[in-house]
Every structure is written in C-alpha cells, then in structure tokens.
Amino acid sequence: MPVVLRIKGYRFYFFSNESGEPKHIHVNKADANGKIWLEPFD
C-alpha cells in the first residue's frame, strides 16, 4: 500500500487493486479510519 502523505499523525494511502469502487484514498490516525472519495458518485 503506497503512502501518499503523512502529516500531523494522519496517513493517506491507497490500494492499487480495489476494483469496483469509485476512486478514493484511505486515511487513518491511530484507531480512526476513513475514505476520501476523489470523484463524485451517483
């Protein structure tokens, strides 16, 4: 999993093999996780 950015304890990364989902990037800090969608979805 390539890490794109590390800032103030946040880690932004992606998986290259996640097909079937709109483009997004994962973010986590400690035990918190989330996804940021890079394109609008219907």
DSSP 2-22: -EEEEETTEEEE--TT-TTS-
> Is residue 9 within 8 Å of residue 18, measured between CB atoms?
no
User: What does the alpha-carbon distance between residue 31 and residue 10 come to, in Å, rounded to a whole number?
Assistant: 11
- Position 42 confidence tier, pLDDT thresholds 50, 70, 90: low
Nearest alpha carbon to residue 5 among 26, 34, 22, 31: 26
Say whether pTM exceeds 0.75: yes
* Higher pLDDT among residues 28 and 19, named by residue: 28
Identify the DSSP state of 23: S
